[in-house]
Structure 1
Amino acid sequence: MSTLLQLVNEVLRRTGQQEATTLLNAQTPIIQTVDFLNDTYFEMLQRLKVRRLTQSNSLMTVAGQATYTLDANVDLDALLPDSVRDASNATPLPEISSTYAIELGENASGKPQYFYRNGSQLHLYPVPDGVYTIDYQAQIKPQTLSQNSDITALPVSWEKVLIMGAQARLEKFLGEPASETYLLYRDGLLQLKSLAPRKPGYRMKGFYRGARSV
């Protein structure tokens, strides 16, 4: 797995630029190369379904507490459908809207049967009346690469496509023809997309997010 510094230097070598010894207080074109690697990295994550970015986790409820914040590296909007489950019997908790929870009686308490999202927090309904374990799966929220030793969450074999995309962007920044490099990058993305393992085919059950207005 290459570090950010190694990736930057590979892009710099390919474009005939002087390599960097550190990214600390980087100057042109090193700082632009870091930005272009991040731009390409996030584009790849958006376009490709990376199973290895999916993580399983759980939370323990507290009696009388309905609202929970998930781990900082978990994207709440990327919860996998049907993955929020009662750990005791693996029963999925259907997703509802906050309006529907109010209609049911927002002060009701008991074993959680549903959940809904509000901002960055997960709400359980009814309000837990004790300690329960709730399992969930979600895509990890990728972090921006900035330090010398930072690494991506991509498989090693995908790094050449990442480098190609950053190289095309840097060539454009330097005023050089980048059409060929960019086409190679796009071809690489298409090949990865055809070979990448698909995520499990989860299916939403019951009420779904957005079914009722909030």
Structure 2
Amino acid sequence: MAFPVDMLENCSHEELENSAEDYMSDLRCGDPENPECFSLLNITIPISLSNVGFVPLYGGDQTQKILALFAPEDSLTAVALYLADQWWAIDDIVKTSVPSREGLKQVSTLGERVVLYVLNRIIYRKQEMERNEIPFLCHSSTDYAKILWKKGEAIGFYSVKPTGSICASFLTQSYQLPVLDTMFLRKKYRGKDFGLHMLEDFVDSFTEDALGLRYPLSSLMY
């Protein structure tokens, strides 16, 4: 079975958004008395204009969006995304059927950007973030990032601000060395050296004499 990250290998943002716009047009013309439904575990969610909407894929950048289905009891939590012409549950979006997608892989395709978004914005921020933690900002469309894959599932990521990247807080300044900006590992995989593996990969991926870590550090990063 192919999953969104596999199916969106050569898909563009425009194609993805056009597909979602077509779906929304059909939804507006549909019969509200007989809505399409999405099944999630033991829950059936009727799909209507009241619980579907576009969300920005890259945070503050409103130009590229994806269509999300929200839980009836929580209008801020997406339970599915419309990708490759169908609805996909969050847990399925972070899966892959490609055997070579194993270990740390640099994010390059649209499908991988969507996986990165889901790991950060939905799984970490909505499901696994501790109360005292400060959430990461959404990654941009050009951020250097790697996703950690294990046995067909994305279990974590890290991102880096390379030398020369513009500082978000000081637009006239840039990073003078590569800085490890975000790192996340799903709770059930912690304590098994995966975090150390990501840190070692960060060090090995850059040739500069000095490397940096963001401050303040998230508790996930030490």
Whether these two folds match at TM > 0.5 is no
More strand by share: 2
Q: TM-score, normalised by structure 2?
A: 0.21
Q: TM-score, normalised by structure 1?
A: 0.22
Higher relative contact order (CA 8 A, sep 6+): 1
More helix by share: 1
Which one has a bigger Cα radius of gyration? 1
